[in-house]
């Protein structure tokens, strides 16, 4: 199963005080910033879905008592979203995901073979604090890129 997982980000951009630039240049910088946001989600937030306490943090649907007993008896753990460990290995491996971005947002593709809809929905859950953090990352990254762009522009004008 091939799953396409959008990273939900809302970012307000204030362009006041920045140099005038073509729309294509701004869109290129926004695309680079969203690419960074997607990579941060993969590196920092996706692994958190497999840690203890993730079920309550992300609001996972409670598993049956039978499921939990089998998991503890056979695999000796109670990690959320992990039964055999195949899903965790698939999505956290370098081949298990990819990031693409446009000027409108980032898309993270998770490659896995889980067919349960609720597991997929739980895997892509993002809490409100994470949403705010991703928005701040986008804004900071865009500001950094715009400063770099401004510096390149100045050097070109001086020559």
Strand partners, 109: 4, 98
Model confidence at 32, pLDDT cuts 50, 70, 90, reads: very high
Model confidence at 156, pLDDT cuts 50, 70, 90, reads: very low
Helices (H), 41-127: 54-58, 65-75, 86-92, 117-123
Is 81 strand, coil or helix? coil
Longest dimension (CA), the chain: 73
Predicted confidence (pLDDT) per residue in 119-134, tens digit: 767 777 888 888 888 8
Predicted confidence (pLDDT) per residue in 81-92, tens digit: 888 888 888 888
Distance from C-alpha of 120 to C-alpha of 21, rounded to nearest angstrom: 40
Contacts 24+ apart (CB under 8 A), 44-47: 45/126, 45/130, 45/134, 46/91, 46/92, 46/97, 46/108, 46/110, 46/123, 47/92
pLDDT of amino acid 12: 63
Handedness of CA 33, 35, 41, 42 (dihedral sign): negative
Handedness of CA 45, 50, 52, 57 (dihedral sign): positive
pLDDT of residue 140 exceeding 80: yes
Strand partners, 106: 101
Distance from C-alpha of 46 to C-alpha of 125, rounded to nearest angstrom: 9
pTM: 0.74
């Amino acid at each position: 199963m091939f799953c396409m997982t959008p990273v939900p980000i809302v970012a307000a951009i204030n362009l006041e005080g920045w140099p005038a630039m073509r729309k294509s240049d701004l869109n290129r910088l926004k695309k680079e910033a969203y690419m960074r946001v997607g990579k941060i989600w993969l590196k920092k937030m996706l692994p958190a879905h497999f840690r203890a306490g993730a079920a309550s943090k992300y609001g996972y649907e409670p598993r049956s008592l039978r499921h939990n007993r089998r998991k503890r008896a056979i695999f000796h753990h109670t990690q959320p979203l992990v039964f055999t460990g195949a899903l965790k290995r698939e999505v956290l491996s370098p081949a298990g995901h990819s990031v693409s971005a446009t000027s409108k947002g980032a898309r993270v593709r998770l490659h896995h073979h889980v067919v349960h809809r609720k597991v997929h929905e739980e895997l892509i859950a993002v809490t409100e604090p994470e949403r705010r953090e991703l928005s701040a990352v986008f804004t900071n990254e865009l500001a950094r890129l715009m400063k770099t762009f401004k510096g390149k522009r100045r050097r070109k004008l001086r020559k």
